[in-house]
Structures are given as structure tokens and as C-alpha cells.
Amino acid sequence: HVTLKFLGDVARGDEDDSPNDSALDDVIAAGERAVDRAGVAPFDCAVGGLGVFPNRDYVSVVWAGIERGGDDLTALHRALEAETTALGVDPADHAFTPHVTLARVENAAGAEAVRDALDDGEVEVG
């Protein structure tokens, strides 16, 4: 998947609330405004290369890089960041790197297996 903005848990509201009282509805509306704000037409992406976050010593995410479409994804990210910040969501504390998340690694054995697999080919780590 491609993550433009990590939000964590977002309240849906309950059945007694009107749909407009839901934080989820606010986030959806922010996403729609962000698409308009970014001014990005439909585009293709191409993926290539593998890497890990946050670094090779502590592997938590395995990703594929974006070779084409990264500028458009970055424009969407910036617009979504502005729209969600206006809703009171904290801005990201790290730079946006367009990528496709392939796997999350939750233990040392998994991290070692990823490092071993990456050693078998040329990869980008960052």
C-alpha cells in the first residue's frame, strides 16, 4: 500500500450521531479537498528497488521505491498534510518518502531474515 498520511485510529461516531458528526467523515472530506488542492491529474506509478525503514540495523518496514509518480504522490501528501493539520491532526515528524509498503517486521528473527534477503541483491536502504 501507499501511505500518504498516517492517521492512527479515527472515530467513526455511533449510530445515534449524524454522519456529519463523525471524525471519519471529516477525514474523508479533507482527503477530497486535498485532491483538489494538489491539482494532480490521474497518473501512473512505477515501483523499483527495495529498502527498509528506519534503517538496516533496526528493520521495521520493507518497501519498494517509487521510480515514476513520486512527485505527484508528494504533492498529494503535502495537500493532505495541510488539510489534516487544519483538522487538528499533528503533522508528520519525518520527511515524506514515496514508497509502497511491502511488509512490517515485528521481531528480530524477521529483521535478520530481511537483512539476509537484501544481502542477496542490490538494494537501497534509508
Q: Is the pTM of this model over 0.85?
A: no
Q: From CA 87, how far away is CA 66, in angstroms rounded?
A: 29
Give the CA count within 13 Å in the CB-facing half-sphere of 29. 10
- Sequence-ordered alpha helix ranges (H) in 39-69: none
How far does Cα 92 stand from its chain's mean position? 11
Domains, the chain, in order of start with CATH, read 19-119 (3.90.1140.10)
Q: Cβ distance 85 to 91 under 8 Å?
A: yes
Smallest CA-to-CA distance from 83 within 27, 19, 42 is with 27
pLDDT in tens, the chain (126 residues): 899 998 887 777 654 554 445 788 999 999 999 999 999 999 999 998 888 999 888 899 999 999 999 999 999 999 999 999 999 889 999 899 999 999 899 988 888 888 888 887 655 555
